[in-house]
Amino acid sequence: MEASVEKLFGPERLEDAALRFGLQGDPKKLGDFENYIYEMQTAEGISVILRLTHSSHRSLEEIEAELDFLQHLEAEGCGKDMASSLASPSGSRIEQIMAADGSCFYACLFRKAPGGRAVPDSEAWNRQLFAEWGAVTARFHNASAKLDRTFARRQWSEDDLIANASAYLQDEDPGIIAQLASVLDRLHALPRPEGSYGLLHGDIHNGNFFVHEGRITVFDFDDLEYSWYIHDVAIPLYYALSSRIPDRYGADRDAYAADFFLGFLQGYRSEREMPEEWLDVLGLFLEMRDLTLYTVLAKKLGPEELTEGIRAWMGQMKERIMAGTPIVSFDFRELAAARR
């Protein structure tokens, strides 16, 4: 979390939010990168997730749109695929907690997803999981395509990490900004035929869902935005390859990437069509993720917070960015056709 926001947050803000939602027990902190996330209990002893978002990160209208989209997903039959929001005893979905400088934190409550996180080499990390991952993503896209109104969420190019990237990268190699401009030019040139572009989660990696009895429950829709649906295919593949390769693949990273992609695509196509021409630009979206992830780390972390591991990670990203290569280079259309 940015130091300026950290100064405004304190135990009293959390206590106020917990009181308004009628929560009990000792808060278990789960995260504080872009939002403050805690696990707490209701008066009935049910574990729930409390999220506090500073107004510098999201507006009230944006958060209302996020919660409206969750309701839409439920109405379209995706209730078991995502963690829904819960209202406070007063009936409010969002409670506003004022800060000392006149800004505020928006508090929301969510159902806790059943199960736990799936990680490489765990029993749950298999081809069946990859297919379920793809199927859930496709069901979200099917629901998104049925929206009959515009939600107050940003277009992909309006995201802070893109619109203000030059400011966050001003101390970095100028070549990174030049590479960002090149990738953005290619993205802006992409067409938007019907069924290819809409409101999407934008960040369905394995840190944003739990697995229980083979089923995925997705949470954290904070990055909800308008973009091409293929973006939601690129993100899982990107993060799968950013973490360690499962032992069963040895050092064969390409074999792992192919298995993951094909499993995910199989699941996706079981619920929704994936035109082959969009597989041709999957690499472009992988390149974009390197750039946005590098930018958010440059924005959020000061020099004293850059551990050796994070420096090495950013170094790998920078090398790919400067070379203009994605995290994995496949002819995805050819790979998909060969396995059909």
What is this structure's pTM? 0.95
Whole-angstrom Cα distance, residue 117 to residue 31?
15
Q: Which amino acid is at 42?
A: T
The vertex-140 CA angle with 85 and 196, nearest 5°, equals 140
Would you state the pLDDT for residue 340?
Answer: 63
Answer for the pair 105, 9: CB distance below 8 angstroms, yes or no: yes
Q: Is the pLDDT of residue 171 over 90?
A: no
Mean pLDDT for the stretch of residues 29-57: 96
Q: Phi and psi of 129, rounded to 5°? A: -65, -45
Share of the chain residues as helix, strand and coil, in percent rounded to the nearest 5? 50, 15, 35
Which is nearest to 326 in space by CA: 334, 317, 339, 315? 317
CA distance 91 to 164: 37
CATH 3.90.1200.10 holds for 127-339: yes
Share of the chain above pLDDT 90, in %: 89
For the chain, domain boundaries: 3-111, 127-339
Across 182-190, average pLDDT: 98
State residue 105's pLDDT score: 97
Segment 189-204 shows an average pLDDT of 97
Q: Confirm or reject CATH 3.40.50.2300 for domain 3-111, answering yes or no.
A: no
